[in-house]
Amino acid sequence: MTAPTALSLAEIGQAFDQRRLSARDLVETAIANHARWDSKLHAYSLWTPDIARAMAQHADDVLAGGRRFGPLHGVPIAPKDLFAVAGMPTFAGSPRRLPARWEQDGPVIAALRRQAGVFTGKTHMVEFAFGGTGVNAHWGCPRNPWDVTQERSPGGSSSGAGIALLEGSALIALGTDTAGSVRIPASATGTVGLKVTAGRWSTDGIVPLSHSFDTPGVLARSVADAALAFAAIDPGAPRAIEPANLTGLRIGIDDAMWEDCALGIAEAAKAALDRLTRAGATPKPVSISAFAGAVEIFRRGSLSAVELQRFLARELPAWIERLDSINAPAIRRAADASDAAHRDRLAQLEALAASARTEIAGIDVIAAPTLTITPPLLSAIRDSESHWNANRALTRNTVPVNYLGLCAISLPVGFDAARMPVGLQLVARPRQEETLLAVALAAERVLGTARDLLGVPPLLA
C-alpha cells in the first residue's frame, strides 16, 4: 500500500474528499518518517508533533462536516525558522529566542492556518538567512542525503526545507528568497523551489534579511504540488493553473549563465532543454547584460548585509554580539556603509531591472542551470574565505532574479558528475508567476517529477 505521504497533493485532496484518508493518518505518517530519519538529517530546529496532531484533528473535524478549505487542508507544512507562527518560538537561526512580536502569524502563515494546514515545526536555516551554503555555527547544518559518504551542503539559507520534504515529514516547506535561498536548496536537494516576485506576497511576520529583496517562497516535491501551494497562498491566483502549450514557446538561452559549470551540470540541463525542444519549445539565444550587471553589484558587497545590519541595530542589538563567526565580519562592516552609497546601488539596480525587462520582452522564459557548482562539502567551507567563495558561486545564477525584480522556479532535471541533483531554473518577467508555473508544469509533464527522474536519495534508500 502506498504511504499517504508519497501521494501528490491532488491525490491527498481526493482521498480526503472520498474519506479514504484522514489528516491525522497523514500527519502520523509524517511524524513516523521524521522519527526514522531525524538522527541522520536534522531538518528541523523545532519539531512540534503535538501541535501538528492538534491541527490535524481540527482539519479532520472540518472534513467530517463536509468541507475542505483548500488544496493544503490537512497537509503537513514546514515553515522556515524566520516565519512567525503563533504558539511557536522563533530564533531565525540565532542562539536566542526573538521577542514575542515574532510569534504572531503574518499573512502567509495566516492563509495556511485558515486553510487548515498542519505545521510540523520550524526548519533549520542560516542565521538571519545571510548565506546560501546552509552552514550555521549555532544550530548545525542538515545533511544532504544524496551523498552517503561525505556531508554536503543542502543549500541555504532555507537549509532544512528541502530535507524535510525528502524525509517525508512535510509535503510543503516554506522558505524565503533574497538571493536564491529557496532555489539553491531546491536544486541541491532535488526538489522544486518557487521564488515569487518581491512584493507579490507580504513579508509581514517574517524576520527580515533585506526589505528590498526578501520574498517568501515555496519548496515542494513536484511542480504540480508547488502550483497548488501557490494557489493556496496567493489571494489573486486562479484556483488551478494548466500546463502551457510547449509548441512555439520561446525559451531564452543566455550563454553566460551556462559557462563555468561543474562537470555534468550544463550537460544535464541541456539534455532537459533538448527534450523540451523536441516537444515543441523554441530555444532563442539572448544576451541579457543586466544579469551580469546585477552579479557585479552583488559581488561588490551585499546590499542585504547593510539592510540586515540596520535591522539588527534598530530592533535586536543584543544579537549582534553573538553572530555566527562566519557572517559577523561582513554584517559588522556593513555598519560603515553610507546611506548615499546604498541608495546609489539600489538606483543602479532599478536601471538594470528596466533594461532586463526590455531585453527579455521577446521570450516567454529564460532557462539556465540553477546552480553552476556541485553542493560543496561541509568540510571545504569551514573558514570564512572558503565559505564566501562558495556562496558567490552558489548565487551566481540566482541573485540576478532577485536584484532585477523577476520571478523564477527551479525544478530537478538530473544529476551532475558527482551524482548530486541538477536544477533547471526558469525565469519570467515580474508578476508572471502563473505563466512561469504553466511552463514549469508543461516541462514536468515532459521530463517527469523529481521521483521519476532522481529516485530516492541513497541515504534514505
**pLDDT tens digit string along 402-422?**
999 999 999 999 999 999 999
CATH architecture entry for 4-460: Alpha-Beta Complex (3.90)
> What average pLDDT score do residues 349-369 get?
96
**Average pLDDT of span 101-120:** 98
Give this prediction's pTM. Answer: 0.98
pLDDT of residue 117: 98
pLDDT digits (tens, 9 = 90+) for 361-374: 999 999 999 999 99
More confident residue, 154 or 384: 154
Nearest Cα to Cα of residue 304 among 185, 172, 119, 180: 180
CB 224 within 8 A of CB 7: no
pLDDT of residue 187: 98
Q: What is the pLDDT of residue 240?
A: 87
pLDDT band at residue 276 under the 50/70/90 scheme: very high
**pLDDT tens-digit readout, 202-231:** 999 999 999 999 999 999 999 999 999 999
Mean pLDDT for 111-138 is 97
Residue 247 has pLDDT above 80, yes or no: yes
Average pLDDT for 95-113: 98
Per-residue pLDDT band for 25 (boundaries 50, 70, 90) equals very high
Mean pLDDT of the region 128-151: 97
Q: Which residues are catalytic?
A: 80, 157, 181
pLDDT for 28 beyond 70 = yes
Q: Does the pLDDT of residue 427 top 80, yes or no?
A: yes
Q: Is the pLDDT of residue 302 over 80?
A: no
If you average pLDDT over every residue of the chain, what do you get? 97
**Closest Cα to residue 372, out of 346, 394, 350, 347?**
394
Cα distance between residue 435 and residue 404, in whole Å? 18
pLDDT digits (tens, 9 = 90+) for 163-186: 999 999 999 999 999 999 999 999
Mean predicted confidence (pLDDT) in 280-295: 96
pLDDT of residue 2: 84
Burial of 129 (0-12, 13-18, 19+ CB in 10 A): buried
Residue with cell 529516485: 455
Is the per-residue pLDDT at 262 higher than 80?
A: yes
pLDDT at 1: 64
Residue 263 above 80 pLDDT? yes
Best CA proximity match to 265, nearest among 386, 419, 443, 156: 419
Measure Cα distances from 195 to 130, 181, 405, 409 in Å.
17, 9, 11, 6
Q: At what angle are helices 303-315 and 339-359 packed, to 10 degrees?
A: 130
Q: Cis peptide before 157, with omega less than 30 degrees from 0?
A: yes
Sequence ranges of the domains in the chain:
4-460
Over residues 130-140, the mean pLDDT reads 97
